[in-house]
Amino acid sequence: MAFLPFYISKQKRLEIVIVGGGYAGIAAMTALLKHAPDSCITLIDPRTHHVKITHLHETFRFPLSDLLVSFADIEKRYGCRHIAASVHFDTEKLQLCQQTKQLIINDETIPFDYLLIASGCENRILDHAENVLGLQDFVASAGSELFNRLLASNYQSEQSISVVGGGATGIQFLFEIKQFLSRIKSKASLRLIHSGERVLEQFPRGFDTYVQSRMQELDIAFYPNTYYRDQHSNSILLTEKHTQKHIELSSSLSILFLGKAQRASHIANAFGQILIDQKPLPNIFVAGDCSVYQSVGSNTLTAQSAVRKGQLVARNILRHSGLPGLLEPHLRPDLGYVVSLGSADAVGWIGIENNLVTGLPALTLKELIEAQYDLLLAGIDTYWV
């Protein structure tokens, strides 16, 4: 068994149920099997594939299949069991699970010693007309395929594309789309609609300055302080934030990146155990985007935070099951963040938020960080605790 500080096994083969096969769930599973390889793990996720969702913007350059790992392959690789199902938890169901130590899925009763909820949170979607796309559309089809099909079916002499949302996901897609349009020699114009004053508002100043200067160089129109209302057949309807003035612009296609809706978030203590009435459920943990920890560690909705929480919870499940039962609090801040701006540019920070990196150094850093997760999926853990 790999070394795990403050953990002495009671020699019991643990039965663990993980709900959610995203970044947090996979990170927890690999950490559990690293330290307790005889654990019996049931992974519950409604999809057939684990999706490296933070790479979806790259499907304008690479096949979508590069970002998919089938749960059938994960079952073979790690010896776990995958059940294709959706599970929703309310307070009553959580308390019942803690009392009975079992979960009923598809009329099957699954006993567990520990339950980990890592089901993530949904992306906000306003509507879904034929010429309106959201992040989930890129899970189903590569960006290049979607755009080739949609642009070919639109017969406007002057096509225009609207990206809505100036967060990290929207910006990464925006620059990939611009490069894709250049590669296929499309004359379609591109614009960004954003409700805030500046892009990437959750990041330090400097991100917005760099990105907006690159947008100007690439002739990407920017509409700040503007709300999206609707996309019609050939136009987009907007509202100016301060004046409430209605705006209608020519638009062949709108792509909506409206952020995540944390509707099913669970409050946890600093160790990752779910709290109900400020009392922990000892055998039910939570990690990833659906979790909010009462600790000084990062609660950002990022893959980095999800992986760190997943690994922490795995260690705490083993510590709780063994001796002396001392749990580790979530204290880790984010170590950095990089936003790609197409295939050859990026902006980010590393170490401390004011340490801004741009261009090729930032892009190289992003690739190194993401390579860590690819290695983790292959069973090689290069993350340092």
DSSP letter for each residue of 171-235: HHHHHHHHHHHHHTT---EEEEE-SSSSSSTTS-TTHHHHHHHHHHHTT-EEE-SEEEEEE-SSE
Cα torsion through 293, 260, 136, 256, rounded to 10: -160
Rounded mean pLDDT, 153-171:
89
> Apex CA 80: angle with CA 77 and CA 84, to 5°?
110
pLDDT value, residue 199: 97
Q: How far apart are CA 346 and CA 338, in angstroms?
A: 7
Under the phi-then-psi rule, with left for phi > 0, alpha for psi from -120 to 50, and beta for the rest, what region is 333?
Answer: beta
The single residue listed with the structure tokens 């190289």 is: 364
146-150, 241-245, 259-263, 330-334: the lowest-pLDDT one:
259-263
Looking at 43-52, 61-70, 145-154, 242-251, which range is the least confident one?
145-154
Report the pLDDT value the prediction gives residue 373, as an integer from 0 to 100.
Answer: 82
Residue with the bigger pLDDT between 128 and 364: it is: 364
What average pLDDT does the segment 99-124 reach?
91
Residue 242 has pLDDT above 60, yes or no: yes
Of the pLDDT bands very low, low, confident and very high (cuts 50, 70, 90), residue 89 is very high
| Mean pLDDT value across the chain | 91
pTM: 0.92
Reply yes or no on whether the pLDDT at 368 is more than 90: no
Which of helix, strand or coil describes residue 258? coil
Residue with tokens 């906000």: 124
pLDDT in the model for residue 127: 58
The pair of structure tokens assigned to 309 is 């929480």
The CATH code for residues 15-121+262-333 is: 3.50.50.60
What is the average per-residue pLDDT within 88-97?
A: 96
| Rounded mean pLDDT, 206-217 | 97
Query: What pLDDT, on a 0 to 100 scale, did the predictor assign at position 6?
Result: 65
Q: What band does 1 get if pLDDT is binned at 50, 70 and 90? A: very low
CATH code of 126-259, in short, is 3.50.50.60
Whole-number Å distance between alpha carbons of 319 and 8: 8
Bigger pLDDT: 40 or 370? 40
- Angle at alpha carbon of residue 374, lines to 370 and 379, rounded to 5°: 140
- What does the angle CA 200 – CA 201 – CA 204 come to, to the nearest 5 degrees? 90
Per-domain boundaries in the chain: 15-121+262-333, 126-259, 335-385
Encoded tokens for 201 = 């508002």
What pairs with residue 19 in β-bridges? 44, 117
Instruction: Determine the Cα–Cα distance for residues 166 and 173; give it in Å rounded to an integer.
Output: 10
